[in-house]
Structure 1
């Protein structure tokens, strides 16, 4: 499971969650404030109702002619009463009640001020020196419904505002990180061989020092690679020239001298110089392969390069090369020089260690699969696993430096491709096979 996270996604998600939580907290706080204020209003309404009704009720009771029993206030029409009331004397005897009042919700003895039961909020007031009492009751459910409706009125806009906030947050983040995304794309599309400075205008201030450091690093790396390539080229020239001169003088000495012992020694020295010359060339190739120059900035057709290299070896060893190439192009980001070094080392390895009476088969398919196959002895699995290392050779008696496949492995690793070695070769009972897919070069290696 990937642990990578997107800055844009992280900011968008958490900012949206934060805005939503703030909205909800605001609604909850507003609901609590509204409930407190509404309770004060409802309590004031209870008190005001009691104080308005009590004088009228007292007048009505005092004007009765002999009838001091319970009377029910008449309603002009049927309706639900949110506020109900009772008029009682101090002993709790009912004298008057509203048409929808239920005496069971009131206490047995009337009392002044606010009180509360499990279902109602009650306010009591007295008159005529505490001989008559009025109690007005309001259902608590009525208050809860009012608070709930108010809270829903505050909450419902969030159904519209949260999606708008989400879109707004993502738009602002995307706009703010637009230059960062351009930077990402600029780095993502460039190949591993492109060491030019990364230029993106109007980057956020926080990314400025990062890009300065990255460009400085790229510049140092580019100069280091250029210096290495220059050293490689100069070293190759400086080594080849004295070695060639020494070989020429040695060969002239062999021709001019009549001393058999001197000729024998000169021949041995000549073999050593040729071995040294080949080894110096291989070491320089290895330095180039490990120097990070395996990729180019643009794709190239590698078919003509492979045809030319195979032709060179056909002239050196007539009848020893079988070449199979596709009709079309095979393009790759592999550097042309790196590919030439890779192909030459694979072919030389196959010619040197293959059977003398069998040709080396070189094939390149249209989808970029390069195979170099030779006949000969089978390499054991234990030895096969070590052939990619430097100065490791198979058990054959052929002359070699032991770094040819190490060079190929270094180039393949630098280009992000895999070198596959098999023995026996595919479809054979013996021999050796090297295979690479040069078309799937990793541009970001």
Structure 2
């Protein structure tokens, strides 16, 4: 199975991450702008507070009867005091302070304007010819807390918007690529024998050339297969007819000659023509097997076909073959003609090369597994691996062309199924077995 991600997944994930990243950048920029604006507002509040309190503080200090000692402004009720202030003279002597003010926060001598320390933002203003100073301080932690709350307020909607955007992006991508997915599924689901044009009328403009190229390729492949099948059929007729005619004439000549030596020579010619006829038939079967016609567009029940093949063999080897068939149909996309060739070659191989005093077992199970088993000597592993090749034969005295298993392998490969060759056979100490699952044909 491929590990590549689909275009739909790439677009969905990419667009969602892109939108999320843009939102985060937008929130970050908005937070920085909001923090800058809040700092301006807080600075303005410091300045306004200093200008409001300073005239009242000056009046209070100048109207005192007991000198200029320090006094603390009483609190009306307990509360968190974010703004604290001190009123001092130009030498730094403390004259007035808010109830929660900490003199250590402020500098030794008062100054005008804004000042930022490690913990506070301070604003200073003067009055009475720079003899009295007021300094108002605000904790920087208060500003950071306000900025954090503002940032969280901007981020909170993203918790709901990101999943919604993810669903929205996936839906839009899925809706936009639905015709492409249908096009992909239509190609993926069809069997190897389905060479009909692929419908691509609703594809996006960017994918139209793909549809056109696929249909052109299918058309060329269909013409090539038709041409090859026609050539195979014509070749079969042109080769078999002259060979059959020559064989018949030799057989007639054999009955007419009187000399024993001449009869022997004619018999040898007859056997050579018969072998040539069988070889030509096998070569034509191999050509058909490798021609790409192993898959049918529709499923077919293979049970009656196998029964008919076994009936043909009964006339050649009576009571030698034990056939086991399922009670229900076994449907497969394997072409009936290709299946007949495959089964006939496997059974012929078992009959010809198996032990003559042991039966050949042909079993077709309900799940589509075909097993052809025969007795005989164990085939060594090195020879077993070569039996799929053309003209390859194990060490045996039986006549044969060495093409039977090569034909079966070619048909199995064309149908995308695996032909297993086992020796010894399953559950036995000897013999040979061929196994394949017919319903896997695609």
Fold shared, TM-score > 0.5 on shorter chain? yes
Q: Which residue of the partner structure matches residue 49 of structure 1?
A: 49
Quote how far apart the aligned CAs of 1:2 are: 5.5
Q: Does 1:213 align with 2:225?
A: no
- CA offsets per residue over residues 358-399 of structure 1, 9 Å max, x none? 432222222222222223333222222211111011222211
- 1:1-12 superposed matches below 5 A: 3-12=3-12
Q: Does 1:402 align with 2:438?
A: no
Q: Which residue of the partner structure matches residue 424 of structure 2?
A: 424
Q: Residue 333 of structure 1 aligns to a residue in which SS?
A: strand
Quote how far apart the aligned CAs of 1:55 are: 2.4
Q: Which residue of the partner structure matches residue 323 of structure 2?
A: 323
Q: How many residues align?
A: 442
Query: Residues 135 and 426 of structure 1: is their aligned pair in 2 closer, same or farther, counting only changes over 3 Å?
Result: closer
Quote how far apart the aligned CAs of 1:332 are: 1.4
Quote how far apart the aligned CAs of 1:259 are: 5.3
Q: Which residue of the partner structure matches residue 250 of structure 1?
A: 250
TM-score by length of 2: 0.95
TM-score by length of 1: 0.94
Q: Find the aligned partners of 2:427 and 2:143 in 1 and give their Cα distance.
A: 89
Maintained 8 Å contact 2:254/2:263: yes
Q: Find the aligned partners of 1:292 and 1:272 in 2 and give their Cα distance.
A: 31
Q: Does 1:224 align with 2:216?
A: no
Q: Which residue of the partner structure matches residue 163 of structure 2?
A: 163
Quote how far apart the aligned CAs of 1:14 are: 2.4
Q: Which residue of the partner structure matches residue 281 of structure 1?
A: 281
Q: Find the aligned partners of 2:414 and 2:89 in 1 and give their Cα distance.
A: 104
- CA offsets per residue over residues 328-383 of structure 1, 9 Å max, x none? 21221111001100111112112222233443222222222222222333322222
- CA offsets per residue over residues 42-101 of structure 1, 9 Å max, x none? 111111222222223223322333522222334444433222211111101112222332
Quote how far apart the aligned CAs of 1:118 are: 1.9
- 1:358-377 superposed matches below 5 A: 358-377=358-377
Query: Residues 114 and 150 of structure 1: is their aligned pair in 2 closer, same or farther, counting only changes over 3 Å?
Result: same
Query: Residues 119 and 397 of structure 1: is their aligned pair in 2 closer, same or farther, counting only changes over 3 Å?
Result: same
Maintained 8 Å contact 2:349/2:404: yes
Q: Find the aligned partners of 2:227 and 2:337 in 1 and give their Cα distance.
A: 17
Q: Residue 439 of structure 1 aligns to a residue in which SS?
A: helix
- 264-273 vs 218-227, greater mean Cα deviation: 264-273
Uncovered stretches (5+) of structure 2, i.e. residues with no partner = none
Q: Find the aligned partners of 1:265 and 1:367 in 2 and give their Cα distance.
A: 52
Q: Find the aligned partners of 1:362 and 1:78 in 2 and give their Cα distance.
A: 101
- 1:164-179 superposed matches below 5 A: 164-179=164-179
Quote how far apart the aligned CAs of 1:414 are: 1.6
- 424-433 vs 41-50, greater mean Cα deviation: 424-433
Uncovered stretches (5+) of structure 1, i.e. residues with no partner = none
Q: Which residue of the partner structure matches residue 383 of structure 1?
A: 383
Q: Find the aligned partners of 1:430 and 1:63 in 2 and give their Cα distance.
A: 126
Quote how far apart the aligned CAs of 1:250 are: 2.4
Query: Residues 283 and 90 of structure 1: is their aligned pair in 2 closer, same or farther, counting only changes over 3 Å?
Result: same
Maintained 8 Å contact 1:114/1:122: yes
